[in-house]
């Protein structure tokens, strides 16, 4: 089995497939007509290369693949970039900073972050009863197992 890579011109191939389909993104339509997996054809176009077996199968099915001496990858929507996108600010999202009302709570640094809360520290008696009721139900369910 020969796994040699064959380089293709992905941009020209995508353009030709679009002309065959009669629309800009016609890979899906053409692949459905020809009985090929669109993921395979898109991957070949996106990377700019494929195995000889896959390229031959696509050419026999009638997909106009242009072979080249170097890989020319093509993305349908946008090219990959290594630059970071700029961070969005509140103004970009349409939020005005003057209209925001933040609740200012005093900051208390954690003295002992590993400490668990005890039931006595819970102020609300309804919350305490709710916790006790659910914990006893959990214990009963564990006993049944």
- Which three-class secondary structure state does DSSP give residue 35? coil
Domain that holds residue 135: 117-145
Task: Return d(Cα 29, Cα 19) in angstroms, integer.
Answer: 12
Half-sphere exposure of residue 116: CA atoms within 13 angstroms, side-chain side: 2
Please check whether residue 66 lies inside any domain of the structure: no
Task: Indicate whether 140 belongs to any domain.
Answer: yes
The answer to whether position 75 is within a domain reads no
> Which residue, of 44, 61, 78, is where some domain finishes?
61
The structural domain count of the chain equals 2
pLDDT tens per residue across span 48-68: 999 999 999 999 998 889 999
- Does any domain span residue 53? yes
Could you tell me which residues come within 8 angstroms of residue 137 by beta carbon, excluding any fewer than 6 positions away? none
Instruction: List pLDDT tens digits, range 11-42.
Output: 899 889 888 888 877 888 888 888 889 899 99
């Amino acid at each position: 089995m020969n796994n040699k890579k064959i380089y293709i011109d992905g941009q020209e191939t995508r353009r030709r497939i679009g002309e065959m389909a009669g629309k800009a993104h016609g890979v899906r339509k053409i692949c459905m007509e020809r009985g090929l997996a669109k993921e395979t054809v898109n991957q070949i176009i996106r990377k700019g290369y494929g195995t000889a077996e896959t390229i031959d199968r696509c050419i026999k099915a009638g997909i106009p693949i242009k072979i080249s001496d170097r890989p020319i990858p093509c993305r349908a929507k946008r090219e990959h970039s290594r630059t970071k996108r700029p961070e969005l600010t509140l103004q970009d999202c349409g939020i005005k900073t003057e209209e925001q009302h933040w609740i200012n709570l005093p900051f208390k640094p954690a003295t002992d972050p590993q400490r668990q809360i005890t039931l006595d520290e819970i102020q609300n008696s309804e919350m305490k009863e709710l916790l006790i009721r659910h914990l006893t139900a959990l214990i009963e369910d564990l006993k049944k197992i």
